Every structure is written in C-alpha cells, then in structure tokens.
C-alpha cells in the first residue's frame, strides 16, 4: 500500500481550472448472483476513480467481464452505484432528481450500447427511435427539421441512402448497420460526452476507420468527449488521448495512450499488449501462452486479482489489494511490483 492520494483524478482535476467534464470517485457496483445457500456477491466494478476531460477521448479496454459496460451503464444512470459518486461538470449525479434534469443529462451524455440487437426497439422502424429522441431532447426543431437531422446523421455514419434506411425495421439491417444506428442516435442529440460501448466491433475495417475518423473529428471540431470502450487496442491508439485498462472490476493502469503502449507498467497490460495480433506477422504461440482464466470477481478475497496469472507476484500481492498509484506523470498503475523505471517485464 502507499499513502499517495487515492483520488488521482481529483488531484489532476484541481490542476486544470475548469475541472474534468466527468469524474468518478470510488465508483463501485456489486451484483447478487445465485440464490438460497449459493448466494454470492459479484464485484463488477470496485472503487474506480477516473476522469474524462473536455474534448477528450478516453479509451477503456481490458478483460472481457472486467466491468467496462457496467461503468458505462453507471455513467448513463442505467445502474445505480453500490457506492461512490459520479460528478458531471462538477455536480454529483446523485443530486439529479427531476425528470427534466435526467432528460437533460441523458441528452448531454447518451450511451451507445454494446449489443445493437437488443438495444433497438424491434417493433418500430429505425426512424422512430431517432425522431423520438430528437423530439424529446431538441424540442426547438420542427418536424421537417427533425427528419432532415435524422437523415444527416445517418449519412454521417454511412447508412445510405439515409431516407431509405430510416424506413427499415431493425431486423432488416445487418449487425454492423444496427450498430451504426445506435451511434447515429447518440450523435443526433448534440452530446457533450458519448458513452460508446464497443461502437465499431461489428464493422469491417474500412467502415471502422470511417467511424473512428468521425469520432476524432467530433472531438476536434465540436469538442465532444468520448468514453470509447473497445477491445481493439490499435483503434484506441488511433483516436484516444488516454487509455484505461481494466482487470476484474478494477483499473489496472491508466495514462496517455502512447505512454501506456510504449511502456506498460502493469503485468496485465503487458500481457494484453503482447497478445495484440499483427495480421502481417505469424502467430506466436508458445508453451507459456497464457490460457486465460475466469477473473475472480465473485466474492473476491483481498490481494491483487491478477496474482494467479502473474509471473511477478510477491508475498504482498496475496493479501494486500494494490491501489492505483502514480508511477510517471499522469501514468498510474495498480501493482505492487510495477515501478517508474521500465525495467520490469512480465510478458511481451
């Protein structure tokens, strides 16, 4: 353990005059699973403090099941935190009470869901969702203006011809087309911050690049911030300013994307980066190739949650939970062994 400030985000926020657009403080969400005597507590998100600045794209990567979507859902107020607080433009979200306040927050911070098959209402044409959103969140627009705006955002995400695609039912669209409908809906709201949960996972590389360029362009020309949840580390590098890596409900490492990629400090980040495949190079599978294992988030015991897979684990790792601490300026890792100098390498 260290005595460094646990709330790095707040410290950093204080450094800038305006503060971050959004920050979380000790955000935690547990779920009860099983029933009767096999009742257990699943720690989906544990003590996560992060910040998203104005005009910033923050990529959130990490293990499948590590809590990324849960964080997005907490930020979108779909889930309530078990503990911890979220601040948007300095105001705690727990203070949002009225329907108007919630509506305003939802239009400023829309979410694009990971599974576009279950997040679009199958009963209505795709125009329905987006027009309804526009009516609710941008009441100043007239009916023809709403239709024009819907067509405009559909074109922007490559759903062409927009007028025709808008008339379709969700089941008449392919996976990647539905995924872009979700993104277009968020875009139409003129958001401040888009919570984009794997928004390009079903897109071919060419359309994917188009959407990534669009996200960068939204940031650069309209000052939109994006929480970009992804498994595609190369795409995170392509557009993100900062990268947060999650493991088993906790932040393992966070920092400027180039710094984290160039010198990953947490052994899990090193493992993750070493596994990023290069289509042009032959696959390297060695006897020690990590086979993965279920993250231990159900009734977890104290200590580092990565220790069973970690070649660097020391005694301390099995009883003290490592806190996120600053190793380099703006570059944090939660590991007892990680040091500021780049000497230590577990994988890769």
Ligand X SMILES: Nc1ncnc2c1ncn2[C@@H]1O[C@H](COP(=O)(O)OP(=O)(O)OP(=O)(O)O)[C@@H](O)[C@H]1O
Q: Does 33 bind ligand X (CB under 6 A)?
A: yes
d(CA 81, CA 71): 9
**Footprint of other proteins on residues 25-84 (CB under 8 A)?**
31, 33-35, 38, 40, 61-65, 68-70
Q: Which stretch binds other proteins (CB under 8 A): 22-30, 95-103, 142-150, 210-218?
A: 210-218
283 binds, among other proteins, Mg ion, ligand X, none (CB under 5 to 8 A by kind): other proteins
Minimum distance of other proteins from residue 270's CB (angstroms): 11
Minimum distance of ligand X from residue 295's CB (angstroms): 7
Question: Quick one: how many helices (H) and strands (E) in the chain?
Answer: 11, 13
Count of residues that bind other proteins according to CB under 8 A: 70
287 binds, among ligand X, other proteins, Mg ion, none (CB under 5 to 8 A by kind): none
| Cβ count near 34 (within 10 Å) | 11
Give the CA radius of gyration of the chain.
21
**Footprint of Mg ion on residues 105-124 (CB under 5 A)?**
114
Q: How many residues comprise the chain? A: 348
Report in angstroms the alpha-carbon separations of 238 from 51, 176, 279.
20, 20, 17
**Footprint of other proteins on residues 234-293 (CB under 8 A)?**
234-235, 237-238, 261, 271-273, 275-280, 282-283, 285, 289-293
Q: Does 244 bind ligand X (CB under 6 A)?
A: no
Q: Which residues pair with 112 in a beta bridge?
A: 196
Element (H, E) at 48: strand 40-48
Count of residues that bind ligand X according to CB under 6 A: 21
Q: Of 31 and 238, which CB lies nearer to ligand X in the complex structure?
A: 31
The HSE-up count of residue 191 (CA atoms within 13 Å, CB side) is 29
Q: Does 163 bind ligand X (CB under 6 A)?
A: no
Dump the DSSP string for 274-331: HH---TTS-----TT---------BSPPSS-TTGGG-TT--GGGGTSPPPPEEEETTE
Report in angstroms the alpha-carbon separations of 234 from 130, 137, 221, 281, 341.
31, 34, 23, 15, 24
Binder among 171, 206, 221, 301 for ligand X (CB under 6 A): 171
Which residues have a Cβ under 8 Å from the Cβ of 338 and sit 6 or more positions away?
Answer: 265, 266, 267, 327, 344
Residue corresponding to tokens 């190369």: 234
Q: Of 115 and 330, which CB lies nearer to ligand X in the complex structure?
A: 115
d(CA 190, CA 20): 19
**Footprint of ligand X on residues 178-217 (CB under 6 A)?**
202
Q: Does 312 bind other proteins (CB under 8 A)?
A: no
**Footprint of ligand X on residues 49-68 (CB under 6 A)?**
64-68
Site string for Mg ion, 52-81 (x = CB under 5 A): -----------------x------------
Minimum distance of Mg ion from residue 174's CB (angstroms): 5
Which residues contribute to the site for other proteins (CB under 8 A)?
A: 31, 33-35, 38, 40, 61-65, 68-70, 114-115, 117-118, 158, 160-161, 164, 172-177, 180, 198, 201-210, 212-213, 231, 233-235, 237-238, 261, 271-273, 275-280, 282-283, 285, 289-296, 298
């Amino acid at each position: 353990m260290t005595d460094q400030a646990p709330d790095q985000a707040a410290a950093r926020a204080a450094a800038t005059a305006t503060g971050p657009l959004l920050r979380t403080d000790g955000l935690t969400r547990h779920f009860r699973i099983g029933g009767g005597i096999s009742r257990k507590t699943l720690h989906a998100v544990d003590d996560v403090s992060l910040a998203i600045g104005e005009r910033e794209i923050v990529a959130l990567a990490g293990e499948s099941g590590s809590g990324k979507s849960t964080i997005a859902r907490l930020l979108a107020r779909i889930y309530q935190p078990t503990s911890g607080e979220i601040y948007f433009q300095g105001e705690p979200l727990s203070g949002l009470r009225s329907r108007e306040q919630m509506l305003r927050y939802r239009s400023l911070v829309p979410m694009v869901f990971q599974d576009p098959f279950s997040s679009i209402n199958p009963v209505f044409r795709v125009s329905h969702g987006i027009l309804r959103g526009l009516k609710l969140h941008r009441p100043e627009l007239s009916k023809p203006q709403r239709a024009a705006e819907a067509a405009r955002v559909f074109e922007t995400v490559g759903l062409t011809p927009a007028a025709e695609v808008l008339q379709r039912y969700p089941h008449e669209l392919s996976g990647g087309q539905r995924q872009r409908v979700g993104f277009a809906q968020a875009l139409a709201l003129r958001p401040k911050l888009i919570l984009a949960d794997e928004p390009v996972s079903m897109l071919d590389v060419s359309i994917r690049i188009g959407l990534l360029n669009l996200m960068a362009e939204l940031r650069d020309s309209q000052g939109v911030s994006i929480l970009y949840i992804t498994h595609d580390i190369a795409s995170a590098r392509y557009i993100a300013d900062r990268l947060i890596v999650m493991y088993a409900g906790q932040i393992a490492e966070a920092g400027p994307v180039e710094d984290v990629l160039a010198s990953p400090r947490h052994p899990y980040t090193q493992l993750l980066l070493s596994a990023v495949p290069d289509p042009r190079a032959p696959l390297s599978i060695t006897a020690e190739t990590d086979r993965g294992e279920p993250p231990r988030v159900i009734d977890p015991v104290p200590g580092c949650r990565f220790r069973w897979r970690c070649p660097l684990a020391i005694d301390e790792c099995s009883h003290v939970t490592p806190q996120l601490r600053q190793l380099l300026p703006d570059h944090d890792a939660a590991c007892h062994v990680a040091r500021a100098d780049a000497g230590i390498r577990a994988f890769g």
